[in-house]
A and B are shown apart, each in its own frame.
Chain A
Amino acid sequence: MTALLRAEGLRVALGRRQVLHGLDLDLSERELVGLIGPNGAGKTTLLRALAGLLAPEAGRVTLSGKPLASLPPRSLAREVGYLPQGGGSYWPVTAAELVMLGRMPHLGPWRKPGARDEAAVAAALAATDAAHLAARKVTQLSGGERMRVLLARALAGEPRLLLADEPVSGLDPYHRLEAMEHLRALARDGKGVAVVLHDLTLAARYCDRLVLLDGGGIVAEGAPSDVLSADRLASVYRVRALHGFEGGEPFVVPWDPLVQAREAR
């Protein structure tokens, strides 16, 4: 499989603080990749650099072989959708209007949205089971409903790759599972999806591949059951976890904080 988005030797600093220390990563279509790691590991910074929102200090990110910096912002926006952490709406617009904002990379400077754009918005709302919310004000939706509308916004631009930063944080168990189902369905339909997750249980179960970050670098990458080994959970997350299978799918439940590991660091 050829990579759609590729990071090579990516080094990123925020102000004077070095956050990513030269990492390599490939993202392809038709897979759901989980970016995991403890707080401060550099997950969000990595996602922002992959979306072209941060300029790397060294190394580069390429989309189909072309460096992001050389692409016009609008054509990059048509290929790569980005769902920031804790997103929402600053004004009480309707869900349909919010989702239409996702069509902007496709709109000419003074052109109004046309039938093609309306259809994309309707399809995006349908894909996240949010069609019935179209006329509601975004600011009056519940957390789970808002998440589905924001996901629809990112899908409305019909990107080949979706980068989502902690889309399930703040959702209750039902809506977490539902959101992950949506992301997995997108990957099955052919999109590349990379998602930052804190919930290891969801990461283990839904992702095709996990990328474990710690201290600004990748410490493990591969199938969830390989990445989430007891040793790594102890050394990176400083937890002991319960492992198991249910219906053929793996689960990992963090159980005890490892006090000694923290003191040893």
Chain B
Amino acid sequence: MSARTVLLPALAVLLLFALAGSLLIGPAGLSTPEALLGLFGSERGPAARVMREIRLPRSLLGAMIGASLGLAGAALQGYLRNPLAEPGLIGVSGAAALGAVLTLYTGLSAAFSLALPLGGIAGAMAAVVLVQLLAGREAGTITLILAGVAVTAFAAALTSLALNLAPSPFAALEIVFWLLGSLSDRSMEHVWLAAPFMVLGWLLLASTGRALDALTLGEEAASSLGFRLPAIRLRLVLGTAFCVGAATAVAGAIGFVGLVVPHLLRPLVGHRPGALLPASALGGAVLLLLADLVVRAIPTAQELKLGVVTALIGAPFFFALVLRTRRETA
């Protein structure tokens, strides 16, 4: 058996372990039997509440968001044929964050609990429309990147404006903390809200796998092999918006997972962009669950934000990438 054939099963097993760890470890100090009984048993005690209302949504969201980021990162890197692309590049993360921040700013999020994620998803959808309009009908990768950068910059400017005009320091702090990205205090309602969008996004992204393989030969050759690249780009942008937009909407901005995971797993699938998609989805789920375990395991007065931890892991990885690229081109 080659490394390639065991990769997906191995990642799936790792994901099960990460999920188990995420469910069984936490500040409530439940023993493993207590936790399992709380999760699967019929009683309605405090253990059941901790497991079903706090840990289960947190673990599920961690896996779903990690998978979304890993999958979207792998798809974008394949489409752009650039290992430094990440899901935020096409503007959906920034716009989703803006949409969510606007509900915080206007106080809508206090009025009903799902206003914030719904605002985030609306922001992501607005970004898709804007990027598609800006990038035009051709499939050019440069215009797509430029459109994404423009949308991201504009969303960041408006997010800053909302912070600037925040009615009180507490409102500003609430926005900043939300922007840092976290999985704590999320409910099953968040899971149910995000799940349909994410599944739709996963399907759209998975359907681009073969075209991404063809793009190994460049855009012209891929077109000549029978792929309509403008349609592929639309699926990619929509798919990313659905899953990463929903991820950002429920958990805030979580960086680097979509950059690091595809990059680490690419050599293990023989650099084939299509084969990287499922591997990167599983790997993203594992990495985000582990990062969230780190968040809960490190006892700080203020709980560390997940986005901060992924950035702390991801940024040094970027340094290593720069050094390696320099060595290879020298």
**Chain A interface (Cβ within 8 Å of chain B)?**
48, 51-53, 72-78, 80-84, 87-94, 97-98, 101-102, 104-105, 107, 109, 153, 157
Contacts and interface: CB of A to CB of B under 8 A. Distances in A.
Contacts, number: 75
Interface string B213-243: 1111110110111111000000000000000
A90 B221 contact: no
B270 interface: yes
Interface of B: 81, 210, 213-218, 220-221, 223-228, 266, 270-273
12 contacts: A51-B224, A53-B223, A77-B225, A84-B221, A90-B218, A91-B272, A91-B273, A93-B271, A98-B216, A101-B225, A107-B210, A153-B221
A94 B269 CA distance: 12
Contact of B217 (A53, A87, A94, A105): A87
B270 A94 contact: yes
Nearest to B78: A91
A73 B226 contact: yes
A164 B212 CA distance: 23
Contacts of B223: 53, 73
B220 A84 contact: yes
Closest 6 CB pairs of A and B: A82-B224, A77-B226, A74-B226, A90-B81, A91-B271, A73-B226
B81 A91 contact: yes
B188 to A, nearest CB: 33
B81 to A, nearest CB: 4
Contacts of B221: 82-84, 87, 153
Contact of A89 (B216, B224, B227, B228): B216
A97 B225 contact: no
A104 B271 contact: no
Q: Is the interface of B mostly helix, strand, loop or mixed?
A: helix
Contacts of A93: 216, 270-272
Contacts of A81: 224
A167 B273 CA distance: 26
Contacts of A80: 224
Nearest to B270: A93
B214 to A, nearest CB: 6
Nearest to B207: A109
A235 to B, nearest CB: 32
A21 to B, nearest CB: 23
Nearest to A150: B217
B217 A98 contact: yes
A88 B226 contact: no
B217 A153 contact: yes
B220 A91 contact: no
Nearest to B83: A91
B303 to A, nearest CB: 40
A92 B224 CA distance: 21
A48 B210 contact: no
Contact of A84 (B81, B213, B218): B218
Contacts of B213: 101, 104
A15 to B, nearest CB: 11
B39 to A, nearest CB: 35
A87 B210 contact: no
B272 A97 contact: yes
Nearest to A88: B218
Nearest to B77: A91
B20 to A, nearest CB: 31
A91 B224 contact: no
A92 B269 CA distance: 11
B14 to A, nearest CB: 25
Given A82-B221, A87-B218, A89-B216, A73 B227 contact: yes
B202 to A, nearest CB: 15
B225 A105 contact: yes
A93 B216 CA distance: 9
A87 B215 CA distance: 11
A238 to B, nearest CB: 30
A105 B210 CA distance: 11
A48 B225 CA distance: 13
A79 B227 CA distance: 14
